[in-house]
Amino acid sequence: MVHLSPLQSRLAASLLASILLFVLYLVLFPPNFALAAELKQALPIVFDDLDDIDLPPPDYKPRGPLDPTYEPKFAAFERSILGRAPSGVTALTNNEAMPMNVEAGTTQRFVFSLPSVSGRGPEGGRLELRSDQVRDAGAGAGAGIAEYDEEDGGEAGQSLARRQASQRVYISANTCQQPQPVDPSKTTTDPPQLTLYVSTSAENQAPGPLADKDDQEVVVFEEGAAVFNLTTNKEVYIGVHAPNATTAFRGIYNFRVAASVYHYFYNYKDQDDLTRLTWVDSDSQGALLMTQNLTESEDSAVQQRIMSSQPYVLFAHNMKDRAINGVKNSFCGLQTYAQIAAIKDGRRTDMVRTVITKRGAGNFPKQQFFFNGLNSSADYIGILVSDGSALTKRQVGQTATAQGIEVFKPTNFTTKSDHGNCALIVDLNFCDQIAYSVPSNPSFGNSSRLASFYDDYAAAMYANFNKSLAQIACEAPASQRYSLARTCDDCAAAYKDWLCSVVIPRCEDFSNAAPYLQPRAVGQPFPDGTRLDPKEAEGLPNNMAFNSSRNPMIDEFIQPGPYKELLPCDDLCYKLVQNCPAAMGFGCPLPGDIGFDGNYAKHLPTGGLTCNFPGSAHVVSAGERAAVVGWGVLVGVVGLGLGFLLA
């Protein structure tokens, strides 16, 4: 037995690997070409127009034999040698989606063989790592080469043993097209769902409705998607069955099926209690939606990377239209049927702008979607999809390849009435946390003019306050400061939050009957000249709070007509009093006092958006609901603060 030094054994291993790789290359390619020719015949017809849809490219590009993630098609190779694949069965490639049509009452069959080089493992993070090593190798980093060769040499030696090892296989499918109603006006049901059958038994190589029930697993698609996982070391047989035709629907199904040893290629989370997508607000033809924090890392490099990516795509659809019913969990179904798709290079992107914003609690990056061109007084459904394949391309994080395409639970949102006197404003310079609908009038000007009307006013108010604050001993030694616990910065921040919410009223339709809303400007005409039906105004006290806006400037310059205001939260005022020097004279009214009703509203313990605060949205998570502070010391009416406003 010759003993090799570690260096020699590395060399030997790497030499062996290189030779093996070369032999593999020579052996594999001729049968591969033959296979491609065979497949072309076996491939089913796929709708042409589906190919026109801008599907993001599948995340696995064709690879060369020197790429570490290159997967020699042993499975197909074995089959073509042994002739095991029955006719009419399509072979699936690891982590690639296969498109296929299926007619009512028939079953399409697939077979998936575990990738032979099984040491690659199920965790995608490793793929990323290895491709980094190869890049190092290319750049001539010696350590990278050694590490890579050693690992690969070892793997080549062990691959025969590992081939038999069990692996977890993730099977997923999406319905891309479904039969359409013969008479849409009469049809009140959705097209029936496809069914996925899975078998690993050599006895049942054709799973489907007619096969032995004990020899297969059955998963009925849910809203156009099915997922199933199993651990096996055998070939996996898959059937996708379309139900018998009914008289109400016409047409065939088209679907995509994928098997992967890494993760679900198509996943969905309809049971997720975590609402990924938050409806912030809307106006008569637009809506603003936002994802959760994309990261909570304080690391600026991580934040920078996130800021330059757009990890989510969003689909929106008018709920009156039934077209997406039955495919709400299906990425490619949504691509086919959703009215609005916020996909880069996708359709109807003119109706939605998406950016990464840091607005909102915590100031972490979030992806924002801003729609326009929606119908007024309409209910919409928004469905967020994280496109793991897009992430991979942008190399966001090490775990990116561990994700496929994931469809999240839908978020409902509605647009406001066509009175057009509430309009969304975003991207304010001074009140940078403000993004919601404000009292408006189409004749006042565009959204940026409206935004600066409110924002400039708030900034001017703040400048007055800033002068007063400068006279307080903020930076004085501790013994002379107004409080040891609060600084002038705390006071300035609390004032800004309060000011922006008070100066920029949050607008709701006058027809919104929620009890916590304050009717405003009931005596004015709507922008279209019509007036409130006297019956609607009946019972409203004929006082200033109802007959005018909070800020007379709004009635003078904008003249929005009757609207309702979502009042600022009372805790904005309490925070102001707590954080600012008593000498500034701030005070807050208590519920029941003169000055509370019509000026402030309270958070309700039951949740929901019952009052306005910077960064507020229609769905308020428990964490965002600021606790209402104790108020023993807070007496009196807003003094100086309101004074500034009315000045």
Q: Using CB under 6 A, which residues numbered 392 to 431 contact ligand NAG?
A: 412
* 346 Cβ contact list (under 8 Å, min separation 6): 54, 313, 335
- Report the candidate in 427, 445, 404 with the shortest Cα–Cα distance to residue 558: 445
Q: What is the dihedral of CA 267, 271, 275, 279, to 10 degrees?
A: 90
CB nearer ligand NAG, residue 177 or residue 260: 260
Compute the distance between CA of residue 93 and CA of residue 512 in angstroms, rounded to an integer.
54
Considering the rule CB under 6 A, would residue 105 count as an interface residue with ligand NAG? yes
Classify residue 213 as exposed, middle or buried by CB count within 10 Å of its CB (0-12, 13-18, 19+).
exposed
- Give 133 or 330: the residue with its C-beta nearer to ligand NAG: 330
Nearer to ligand NAG, 304 or 448 (CB): 448
Contacts (CB under 6 A) with ligand NAG, residues 186-205: none
Residue 181 neighbours by CB under 8 Å, 6+ apart:
187, 191, 248, 249, 250, 322
Question: What does the chain come to in residues?
Answer: 647
Nearest to 262 by CA among 71, 477, 4: 71
Tally of CB atoms within 10 A around 493: 14
Q: How far apart are CA 582 and CA 605, in angstroms?
A: 30
Selected from 189, 304, 448, 471, the binder of ligand NAG by CB under 6 A is 448
Which of 14, 158, 229, 483: binder of ligand NAG (CB under 6 A)?
Answer: 229
> In sequence order, what are the beta bridge partners of 109?
89, 239
Q: CB 489 → ligand NAG: shortest distance, Å?
A: 11
Q: Choose between 90 and 216: whose C-beta lies nearer to ligand NAG.
A: 216
Residue numbers 514-543 binding ligand NAG by CB under 6 A: 523-524, 542
Identify which of residues 41 and 446 has a Cβ nearer to ligand NAG in the complex: 446
Q: Is 387 exposed, middle or buried (0-12, 13-18, 19+ CB in 10 A)?
A: buried
Instruction: List the structure tokens of 505.
Output: 């009223």
476 near ligand NAG (CB under 6 A): no
CB of 174 to ligand NAG, least distance (A): 16
Contacts of 595 (CB under 8 A, 6+ apart): 589, 637, 638
What burial letters (b/e) apply to 570-601, b meaning 16+ CB within 10 Å?
bbbbbbbbbbbbeebebbbbeeeeeebebbbb
Asked whether position 482 contacts ligand NAG by CB under 6 A, the answer is no
Pick the closer one to ligand NAG by CB: 159 or 417: 417
Which x/- pattern over 303-322 shows residues binding ligand NAG (rule: CB under 6 A)?
---------------x----
Give me 188's structure tokens: 């009140």
Closest approach of Cβ 219 to ligand NAG, in Å?
9
Angle (CA) 170 174 180, round 5°: 160
Report the largest interatomic distance among the alpha carbons of the chain, rounded to a whole angstrom.
105
Is residue 122 involved in binding ligand NAG (CB under 6 A)?
no
* C-alpha pair distances (Å), 363 with each of 208, 396, 415, 494: 52, 20, 27, 16
Q: How far is the CB of 65 from ligand NAG (least distance, A)?
A: 31
- Work out whether 166 is an interface residue with ligand NAG (CB under 6 A): no
Q: Is residue 25 a contact residue for ligand NAG (CB under 6 A)?
A: no
Does 352 sit near ligand NAG (CB under 6 A)? Answer: no
Nearest in space to 595 (alpha carbons), one of 575, 615, 568, 563? 568
SS3 state at 329: coil
E strand or H helix at 354: strand 352-357
Applying CB under 6 A, among 9, 375, 377, 399 the residue interacting with ligand NAG is 375
For ligand NAG, the binding residue among 445, 585, 636, 639 (CB under 6 A) is 445
- Residue 74 neighbours by CB under 8 Å, 6+ apart: 113, 115, 116, 117
CB of 37 to ligand NAG, least distance (A): 35
Q: Does 86 bind ligand NAG (CB under 6 A)?
A: no
Q: Site for ligand NAG (CB under 6 A): which residue of 213, 344, 353, 449?
A: 449
| Least Cβ distance, residue 210 to ligand NAG (angstroms) | 9
In the numeric block, the tokens 């959703």 are attached to 338
Binds ligand NAG by CB under 6 A, chosen from 41, 446, 479, 480: 446
How many residues in the shown chain lie near ligand NAG by CB under 6 A? 31
Residue 244 CB, shortest distance to ligand NAG, in Å, is 4
The minimum distance between CB 632 and ligand NAG, in angstroms, equals 27
Closest CB 573 distance from ligand NAG, rounded Å: 21
Tell me: does residue 135 bind ligand NAG (CB under 6 A): no
Using alpha carbons, list the distances in angstroms from residue 119 to 71, 164, 278, 328: 12, 11, 41, 36
Distance (Å, rounded) from C-alpha 70 to C-alpha 472? 69
d(CA 240, CA 107): 5
Q: What's the min distance (Å) between Cβ of 361 and ligand NAG?
A: 4
Choices 66-74, 95-103, 616-624, 639-647 (CB under 6 A): range interacting with ligand NAG: 616-624
Q: Based on CB atoms, which residue is closest to ligand NAG, 185 or 446? A: 446
Task: Tell whether residue 185 is a contact of ligand NAG (CB under 6 A).
Answer: no
Q: Which is nearer to ligand NAG, 135 or 353 (CB)?
A: 353
Q: Which one among 244, 304, 471, 530 touches ligand NAG, defined by CB under 6 A? A: 244
Q: Does 296 bind ligand NAG (CB under 6 A)?
A: yes
**Beta strands 253-260 and 249-250: pairing type?**
unpaired
> Which of 293, 349, 372, 417: binder of ligand NAG (CB under 6 A)?
293
Minimum distance between the CB of residue 559 and ligand NAG, rounded to whole angstroms?
9
DSSP per-residue letters across 467-501: HHHHTS-SSS-GGGSS-SS--HHHHHHHHHHHHHH
Q: Which among 15-23, 199-207, 357-365, 632-640 is the span making contact with ligand NAG, rule CB under 6 A?
A: 357-365
Find the part of the chain contacting ligand NAG (CB under 6 A) among 67-75, 93-101, 354-362, 594-602: 354-362
CA 401 to CA 60: how far, in whole Å?
10
For 572-598, give the secondary structure using H, E and C.
Answer: HHHHHHHHCCHHHCCCCCCCCCCCCCC
- Rule CB under 6 A: say whether 248 interacts with ligand NAG: no
Beta carbon of residue 149, minimum distance to ligand NAG (angstroms, whole number): 33
Binding of ligand NAG by 292 (CB under 6 A): yes
Q: Is 344 in the site for ligand NAG (CB under 6 A)?
A: no
Please identify which residue in 129, 143, 463, 628 interacts with ligand NAG, judged by CB under 6 A. Answer: 463
* Dist. CA 550–CA 598, nearest whole Å: 9
545-584 residues in contact with ligand NAG (CB under 6 A) are: 547
Interacting residue ranges for ligand NAG, rule: CB under 6 A: 105, 229, 244, 292-293, 296, 318, 339, 360-362, 364, 374-375, 378, 412, 445-446, 448-449, 462-463, 466, 470, 523-524, 542, 547, 621, 623-624
